């Protein structure tokens, strides 16, 4: 859902400040006579915590994908990658190797109630306009050839329009079933019409599943490019697997309470919950903490850095997903690449759990979820089969280098032949 803090929280002075800071970063790499690198900017308002672990900023799966892809592009000299994030502190930029992280200060320009009513001609409109032109200035200062944004919101329309004005390319990335199947739950307020306009104005739309491609074609008449969720390949360590694992944000659609219900029904299993705090649902986090204190077979870890997640999947005999809906979860790929069987309450994107034999979907039945968890935990042979298939599937279909190569091909197709350095 669009919230203040995405595209509408920039001060008018930020474009000039960012523009001065980006001058050195915008210098083309390479030697005279070679093509200029293609400048790609990933718009990731909630992603700063990935680039600065320990900062306390939460992030989700879409931000993790942009983090991994931006780093892959940054080490390719034919690309020049940057990431636009939102922070509470002052604006500026950080260099992380060849990657530029641009920090935009969130000032809550519109306030929490802005855009909540269907008609507010004298209230939010001037502030939306100011926010639009402030973001125009920031993107102009970054001066990328291609801008990418993930997830539904009115900002999709704003970014698409800004890119048209700047004569730059805009790519929208579908990250959730709800982005296409029920956008009304994701985009609200008087400017919700901007989202479908942004979809149609986008120069490219990336889908993570074939289901998303079909929905995009049927509902919007747009052909999306399939680029699967990517993850670095890993070698399986052979470490003893002892835990039942759940990973996710404290968001109602993730249904963490359902995992706690499952933990109660698995008294002989050691269960682990890795929780990323969601600032809007602190009450849910409190509920989890209080209930976890009553479950002797449960350990809860909060706000674990992405770099530390591998160890949790390496130790897990089973990974549990309880979400109402997803896109293609990063956690599915993380589990599969580590050879960890997947058990899902509802989510089975493109039917991969069944078709590739890497896990089980309970089809929305808690009873089947409990029964399948018991079956997998009690059978080492079944876990080995599911895990081996998962590792093979992830290595074949979700290798990060493959996803990055497909994104590079899309970007090159949008930008075309680059001028040469020195011309």
User: Does residue 1 or residue 166 have the better pLDDT?
Assistant: 166
Give the mean pLDDT of the chain: 87
Instruction: Identify the pLDDT of residue 108.
Output: 55
Share of the chain above pLDDT 70, in %: 85
pLDDT digits (tens, 9 = 90+) for 159-218: 999 999 999 999 999 999 989 987 666 777 778 888 999 999 999 999 999 999 999 999
Share of the chain above pLDDT 90, in %: 72
Instruction: Identify the pLDDT of residue 10.
Output: 39
Q: What is the model's pTM? A: 0.88
* Average pLDDT of the residues in 264-286: 93
Q: What's the Rg (C-alpha) of the chain?
A: 22
User: Does residue 115 or residue 284 have the better pLDDT?
Assistant: 284
pLDDT digits (tens, 9 = 90+) for 63-87: 999 999 999 999 999 999 999 999 9
User: Does residue 32 or residue 350 have the better pLDDT?
Assistant: 350
Most confident of 12-16, 26-30, 309-313: 309-313
* The domain defined by 243-398 carries CATH number 3.40.50.2000: yes
Does 7 score more than 80 pLDDT?
no
Residue 6 and residue 108: Cα distance in Å, rounded? 10
Instruction: Identify the pLDDT of residue 124.
Output: 62
Does 109 score more than 50 pLDDT?
no
* Average pLDDT of the residues in 101-126: 58
Q: Do domains 14-229+401-415 and 243-398 have the same CATH topology?
A: yes
SS (H, E, C) 337-382: HCCCCEEECCCCHHHHHHHCCCEEECCCCHHHHHHHHHHHHHCHHH
HSE of 230, CA atoms in CB hemisphere, 13 A = 20
* Average pLDDT of the residues in 239-258: 94
| Residue whose token pair is 């994030």 | 85
Does 13 score more than 70 pLDDT?
no
Residue 65 and residue 383: Cα distance in Å, rounded? 27
Which of 188-192, 342-346, 352-356 has the lowest average pLDDT?
188-192
- Position 2 confidence tier, pLDDT thresholds 50, 70, 90: very low
Instruction: Identify the pLDDT of residue 21.
Output: 45
Does 110 score more than 90 pLDDT?
no
Q: Where are the domains of the chain?
A: 14-229+401-415, 243-398
* Average pLDDT of the residues in 267-287: 93
User: Does residue 293 or residue 123 have the better pLDDT?
Assistant: 293
Instruction: Identify the pLDDT of residue 12.
Output: 41
Using alpha carbons only, give the angle 102, 15, 57 rounded to the nearest 5 degrees: 35
Using CB atoms within 10 A of its CB, is residue 291 exposed (0-12), middle (13-18) or buried (19+)? middle
* Average pLDDT of the residues in 36-54: 94
Q: What is the DSSP letter of 42?
A: E
Instruction: Identify the pLDDT of residue 123.
Output: 54
Does 27 score more than 90 pLDDT?
no
Domain 14-229+401-415 - what CATH class?
Answer: alpha beta
- Position 239 confidence tier, pLDDT thresholds 50, 70, 90: confident
* Sequence-ordered alpha helix ranges (H) in 124-228: 124-142, 154-166, 178-181, 194-201, 210-220
Residue 330 and residue 241: Cα distance in Å, rounded? 21
- Position 111 confidence tier, pLDDT thresholds 50, 70, 90: very low
Does 32 score more than 90 pLDDT?
no
């Amino acid at each position: 859902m669009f919230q203040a803090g995405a595209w509408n929280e920039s001060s008018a002075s930020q474009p000039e400040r960012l523009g001065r800071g980006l001058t050195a970063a915008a210098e083309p790499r390479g030697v005279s006579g070679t093509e200029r690198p293609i400048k790609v900017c990933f718009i990731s308002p909630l992603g700063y915590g990935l680039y600065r672990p320990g900062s306390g900023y939460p992030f989700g799966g879409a931000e993790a994908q942009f983090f991994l892809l931006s780093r892959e592009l940054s080490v390719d000299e034919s690309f020049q990658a940057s990431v636009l994030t939102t922070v509470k502190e002052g604006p500026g930029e950080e260099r992380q190797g060849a990657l530029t992280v641009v920090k935009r200060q969130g000032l809550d320009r519109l306030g929490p109630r802005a855009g909540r009513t269907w008609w507010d001609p004298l209230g939010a409109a001037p502030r939306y306009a100011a926010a639009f032109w402030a973001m125009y200035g920031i993107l102009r200062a970054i001066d990328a050839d291609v801008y990418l944004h993930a997830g539904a919101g009115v900002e999709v329309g704003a970014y698409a329009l800004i890119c048209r004005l700047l004569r730059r390319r805009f790519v929208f990335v579908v990250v959730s079933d709800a982005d296409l199947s029920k956008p009304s739950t994701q985009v609200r307020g008087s400017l919700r019409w901007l989202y479908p306009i942004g979809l149609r104005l986008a120069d490219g739309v990336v889908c993570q599943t074939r289901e998303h491609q079909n929905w995009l074609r049927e509902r919007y008449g747009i052909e999306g490019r399939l680029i699967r969720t990517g993850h670095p390949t890993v070698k399986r360590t052979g470490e003893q697997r002892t835990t039942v694992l759940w990973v996710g944000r404290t968001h109602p659609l993730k249904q963490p309470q359902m995992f706690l219900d499952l933990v109660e029904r698995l008294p002989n299993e050691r269960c682990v919950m890795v929780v990323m705090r969601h600032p809007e649902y602190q009450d849910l986090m409190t509920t989890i903490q209080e209930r976890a204190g009553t479950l002797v077979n449960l350990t809860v870890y909060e706000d674990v850095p992405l770099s530390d997640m591998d160890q949790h999947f390496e130790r897990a005999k089973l990974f549990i997903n309880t979400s109402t809906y997803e896109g293609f979860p990063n956690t599915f790929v993380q589990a599969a690449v580590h050879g960890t069987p997947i058990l899902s309450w509802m989510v089975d994107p493109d039917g991969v759990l069944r078709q590739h034999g890497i896990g089980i979907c309970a089809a929305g039945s808690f009873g089947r979820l409990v029964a399948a968890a018991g079956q997998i935990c009690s059978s080492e042979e079944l876990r080995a089969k599911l895990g081996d298939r998962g590792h093979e599937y992830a290595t074949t279909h979700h290798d990060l280098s493959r996803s990055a190569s497909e994104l590079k091909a899309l970007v090159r197709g949008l930008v075309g032949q680059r001028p040469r350095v020195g011309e």
